Structure 1
């Protein structure tokens, strides 16, 4: 079948039958259990931890506090390491922290014979704090007199960056007469990934005194490096194994608790130690999508020409850097990569430490936040000049051939405008905009849209490297090993298709090894950035070509023919010109292994240092029904239209988009992590955190515009993260069309909408909707 076909997932049977083994399924016998003890304040200092009562409890093996761990600060984000210091991540976290920086910070750990004993001991620890005033917003963090969260950053600002484009400044652009100007603020909240499998690992020391960590992670090779840095030991002393994984969405693109788990097994003589988080700990103490605040200022002409824009973006980082400023910098890039300003564009952004949960990577890596601030502004600008939002976008969006002026990423292929056309036709845009223009009554309908673009991989901002190994088996089948990780997205299936295509053998003869083991698996930085089918795919293609050459070289020797006259087609060695079958690949493979004259074990392993990138793009169109008195939004019809290059597996591609759209629905309508005035989480559980269910999900429609991209190994480009980007702003803009009310923050929860509709006069003070 090869690529571009609906080949069945290679892991489907194992997953539906339960044969696929996840981390918790692989626990060794007599495995100890670790429990992390979290702070009960959000800002302060641990003065003393009384452990006597806990230590006396039967079953307790070891208690470790923040006073017992190495005095080493290390980075946690899943970025490639760099030999250049300027490209290295911020090291601001220890295994356990005496300086408390958010409610739930890690201050101690219990190792016990069982989970009950560990939990009981954790409850018996008595902690003395020196408590400071909680800092719960970027404004409070930057205010004079605010306590310093990290001594290395005395103003609590992790980093500031900005850029200016155009022939003049924004202020100079405003001197033109007749411009229509918009000044507004937009805001997006913290949300959580809510992957099915919580973070879990177990660690032990093997007979060679190597620390082995089995973990549910997206980035096994990066975990290995960070554990070494955190413990101050050689990276070769660590082995990381990644089995099947129950989702990550970026949360497991951070090194979460593997370093602490490695340290704990050291403290108990190398015995196996399991460290699994509860759902509550996962929600509150791991990573989350950053809250961001956008202050925008824009000017347009009455004909719809976008003249100039200025934006200031604040990213609420929480207590630790994690992926840090890279997220908001990515959000800022969307402003220049999606629209062209005739005269000027100025962007300034800052990442600010606060005493709330830690922001990190989450599907879209800052672009969902940036796209909301941008696409809400675009609809509001169109409304200012009474112009159709679709036509406004079409007039001002970047055109074919766009190249980012700073990082030089290009639209090697461009399907954005075609995506807009397809979405417009599907939603019946013109008809619905006219039909819903003059509505009255408590129930109203509207249509909205949002567009986006998203790069494929991280070059040139960071390193993109991947390796692949292929081994010819005796029966003519091929083992394929990559450091790229299957985390539920279907990577192993697509790699199987790619391998079959490039080798010239059928998919049933390809065995992709799903488990990554840093001792034996070729290097790859992991699953993130929608990079794997693009970056790791190039490594696979490069390796496959080498393997085919070596197979044909040997076959030529066996057949006494020039290798150049041979080809490998559907598991057969054939004459390249006539197609005549000369020998089966299985026969040649057996000969290679066991020949008494010339035994060769035919393998190939290659590295691809990817130095290219490209943009994927698309649009979301949505029709909603708004119950004004109840503040409820019902999505009636929704479609995502994507240009992700050639589709390697259309069914898998559709599934990716469905998943991303579902995440976008929650971001738009219900999800938000809430905190009290002390910084304590209020809804760190799946009862109070309003995650949409199947009952809340409308039919999800997907359209693809397949523009072959010359830079992709098979004409493909990013698809994993893009589906989550445009849904929320499209829904917001549909509510604007339905009601005339611009709600400028997410989520569009009933309480917020009722308040906005009341302020707009759509609901009387008595609560009745105007008819």
Structure 2
């Protein structure tokens, strides 16, 4: 059976041989190139802008300033549209601005015949600014009398409270109460392919955009909003994409390239950001300040959890408060037998704009929660693994916030299997009572996550299957392949359900909003879960149509037939091949009287959202004088339901673990607190791990069966990133006795804390 097998990616050969065509490979004759004029300050007003010198440069075709673009705001977050006006994304972004709100904000853009000319011209545009106070922290942005970045009464974007039970009352009467304050940093996605798109106008004066985006259908809508055009007047094409990790779940440069081609009579115009611009002017991960409390009985029963989150969204809303909100919703499944409280607020500042990034708020809040669990274990004198085993979710538990039953939960089995594979007991015993400059520690941390955005978002997916004359099948889905391997598992789903070999399925990877039925895009670890029902229904319909025509051809009853391995057979005698699917298709296409091409198409909505679970075990060494951490062994274990393609799943986990290690030990956008200037907006000064910096990565799966899923599976894309950080922090604490409640755990951070603890001079 195709599902459950490590079948080769459908795009593997195209990518390794260079046949795959990305946005930058699809240049057009007469292409023009655009380059921004960006603010060198983090906050201020443009008082003078002079384009005369730049316009005199040969090859410059046009320059547009903030005064030339539409003056209404538009949203950029990659969320499905909502019929509830209260749920719509904040429309606070403009194509260009005279009120710069972060270092690198765009005030003008140059269009020229080539990129070098555009870059030279951009440097010739003269801009003067009236500098305004810079606000990079909550203390400054939310202070009384602080300058308002987007009007209103304050720089507070939004806040909310969630409660399940009465955590305050439980905390007040608790035997054991743990409190802590935790801080996470700003990081960038650093996907291999940068942000790039181009646009032109077709013969019907519609704007066509080719873009490296995770959300082509949402781009279509947002571009139309930005330019005040009908949604149908925009067409978006997504070729192969070289990674996104959530950055391209925002509408980035598509509105600008659409605006430019519109203003220049339809000529193709490309907007491609340099790596430096990606750091300044795309999206980052939100920094969180988390104040947490948990309550336990003396036997280690977790009774209450309360988290208070303050999220810095930077200069514009983007996904804004939904990140902080989602973090609380996603972790409520992990320890569900508690009174749960979650309060969150999101504020504007003069930092670069934060948006979606792999994990979507869960890594930040999980860091706080799992640090407190270890601190509780220490106070109780318990093994931190035993404390988690005692309290994690079981099948049948009820989520304290949404009151949904957990129908599949393998987190307990993940912890038990991890104990065995990692040899936790022996490794932990070897790390007790250490001294000296080099010490070992072990750590563990857990996670829960969701499989889509329902009921916050509308979860719609589509699938189209067309049977070709030779018996092969074209599969077209609205869901976007961005490197995660979704097209491959979609082909596996279709092959198994129709009853044909995997090699018979041809997946059309390019999404085109004129051709591809609606799907909001690649995010929320949703694609395999939400697209599966559409594929299952369409594949079932296609199989039934094949059987119907085969029954006509061979004079059998439809109920007596089945499709197996590309052949129509008798159900009670599957070894008896009556017809091949190819023969059925040829007859359907070319019979003189009956038939037609056999096609099935389904668009459907998913109204369930089961939790996925996982955990990380880590063994590391800390060189205290050098403030250096070396990971000796790390393993992730995951409950993602049925594993559809083990090799692809392992690749997802390894990639997430690498990002999690980078977030924990290496990565940080260094932003001057007073000026808001980004000091390391390049891949030389911004440190993230290469393959040489990562340890051997190990993973294992506990396969449960999720009954709400079309194929028994749950989310996997984002969870592997979430739990390495607290596991590493907990191991460093065990090794050194120093609790560090902030990220990243770089040598600089370790030195500061080790010095305060008297471990280094």
Band of TM-score, shorter chain = over 0.9
| 1:727, distance to aligned residue in structure 2 (A) | 0.6
Question: Could you tell me how far apart the structure 2 residues matched to 1:576 and 1:706 are?
Answer: 30
Aligned partners of 1:431 and 1:492: how far apart in 2? 42
Aligned to 1:165: 164
Shift of 1:386: 2.3
Structure 1: gaps (5+ residues) = 766-771
Segments of 5+ residues of structure 2 without an aligned counterpart are none
User: Which stretch shows the higher mean deviation, 552-561 or 138-147?
Assistant: 552-561
For residues 74 and 731 of structure 1, do their structure 2 counterparts lie closer, same or farther at Cα, with a shift above 3 Å needed? Answer: same
Please report how far the alpha carbon of residue 30 of structure 1 lies from its aligned counterpart in structure 2 after TM superposition.
2.0
One of 617, 625, 631 as aligned partner of 2:627: 631
Q: Provide the rounded CA distance (Å) in 2 between the counterparts of 1:169 and 1:535.
A: 34
Provide the residue aligned with 1:43 in structure 2: 43
CA-CA distance at 1:340 after TM superposition = 4.3
Q: Distance in 2 between matches of 1:399 and 1:468?
A: 34
8 Å contact 2:340–2:401 — kept in the other structure? no
CA separation in 2, counterparts of 1:302 and 1:742?
A: 22
Counterpart residue number, 1:666:
662
Alignment partners' CA distance in 1, 2:172 and 2:591: 83
**Does residue 745 of structure 2 align to residue 729 of structure 1?**
no
Task: Quote the Cα distance in structure 2 between the aligned partners of 1:229 and 1:653.
Answer: 38
Taking the aligned partners of 2:390 and 2:565, their CA distance within structure 1 comes to 49
Deviation at 1:302, TM superposition (A): 3.0
Aligned equivalent of 2:544: 549
Query: What displacement does 1:709 show?
Result: 1.1
Is the aligned partner of 1:183 residue 2:182? Answer: no
Give the structure 2 partner of residue 155 of structure 1. Answer: 154
Match of 1:226 in 2: 222
Which residue pairs with 1:241 in the alignment?
237
The answer to whether the 8 A contact 2:336-2:397 is kept is: no
1:688 aligns with 2:685: yes
Q: 1:741 aligns with which of 738, 742, 747?
A: 738
Deviation at 1:130, TM superposition (A): 2.1
1:258 equivalent in structure 2? 254
Say whether the 8 Å CA contact 1:614–1:711 is kept in structure 2: yes
Give the Cα–Cα distance (whole angstroms) in 1 for the partners of residues 587 and 331 of structure 2: 60
2-structure distance, mates of 1:405, 1:430: 32
Name 1:198's counterpart in structure 2. Answer: 194
**Structure 1 residues 728 and 143: CA distance shift in structure 2, 3 A:** same
Determine if contact 2:336/2:398 at 8 Å carries over to the other structure. Answer: no
TM-score between the two structures when normalised by the length of structure 1: 0.97
**Quick check: 1:296 aligned with 2:302?**
no
Distance 2:750 2:631 in 1: 15
Q: Which secondary structure state, in structure 2, belongs to the residue aligned with residue 552 of structure 1?
A: helix
Q: Deviations over 1:438-473 (max 9, x none)?
A: 001000000001000001011111100011111111
Cα distance change of structure 1 residues 91 and 514 upon mapping to structure 2, 3 Å threshold: same
Shift of 1:725: 0.6
Q: Following TM superposition, by how much is the alpha carbon of 1:479 offset from its aligned partner in structure 2, in angstroms?
A: 0.6
Judge conservation of contact 2:394–2:410 (CA < 8 Å) in 1.
no
Number of the residue aligned with 1:29: 29
State the distance in 2 between where 1:228 and 1:149 align.
25
Q: Tell me, in whole angstroms, the C-alpha distance in 1 between the residues paired with 2:266 and 2:172.
A: 70
1:706 aligns with 2:710: no
Check conservation: 2:560, 2:570, Cα contact below 8 A: yes
Residue 582 of structure 1 is aligned with which of 578, 581, 600? 578
In structure 2, the CA distance between the partners of 1:12 and 1:740, relative to structure 1 (3 Å rule), is: same
SS of equivalent to 1:470 = strand
User: What do residues 339-379 of structure 1 show as CA deviations (whole Å, max 9, x unaligned)?
Assistant: 2465x433211001110011111111111111111111111
Corresponding residue for 2:53? 53
Please give the alpha-carbon distance, in whole angstroms, between the structure 2 residues aligned to 1:241 and 1:340. Answer: 43
- Using structure 2 for the length normalisation, give the TM-score: 0.98
Are the equivalent residues in 2 in contact too, given 1:306–1:340 (CA < 8 A)? Answer: no
Q: How many residues align?
A: 759
> What SS does the aligned partner of 1:383 have?
helix
In structure 1, distance between residues paired with 2:277 and 2:46:
20
5 Å-filtered alignment, 1:134-533, equals 134-152=134-152, 154-166=153-165, 168=166, 170=168, 172-176=169-173, 179-340=175-336, 342=338, 344-533=339-528
Deviations 1:109-158 (A, max 9, x none): 11100001100110011112222100011221111111101113x21111
Distance 1:174 1:225 in 2: 46
Are residues 713 and 419 of structure 1, via their aligned partners in 2, closer, same or farther at CA, if it must alter by over 3 Å?
same
For residues 408 and 605 of structure 1, what CA distance do their matches in structure 2 show?
34
CA distance in 1: counterparts of 2:639 and 2:406, whole angstroms: 11
SS in 2 for 1:634: strand
* Corresponding residue of 2:76: 76
1:604 to 600, 607, 610: 600
| In 2: Cα distance, 1:396 partner to 1:740 partner | 25
C-alpha separation in 2, matches of 1:46 and 1:409 = 52
**C-alpha distance 269-409 of structure 1, shift in aligned 2 (>3 A):** farther
SS of residue matched to 1:337: coil
CA contact 1:334–1:371 (8 Å) conserved in 2? no
Distance 1:55 1:542, change over 3 A: same
- Give a deviation string over 1:165-184, Cα, whole Å, max 9, x none: 32x451x335537x333332
Report the counterpart of residue 769 of structure 1 in structure 2: none
Q: Deviations over 1:226-252 (max 9, x none)?
A: 111111001111110000000001100
Cα RMSD after superposing both structures: 1.4
What is the CA-CA distance between 1:695 and the residue it aligns to? 1.0
Deviation digits for residues 46-91 of structure 1 (CA, Å, limit 9, x no counterpart): 2331111111111101101111111221111111101111221111
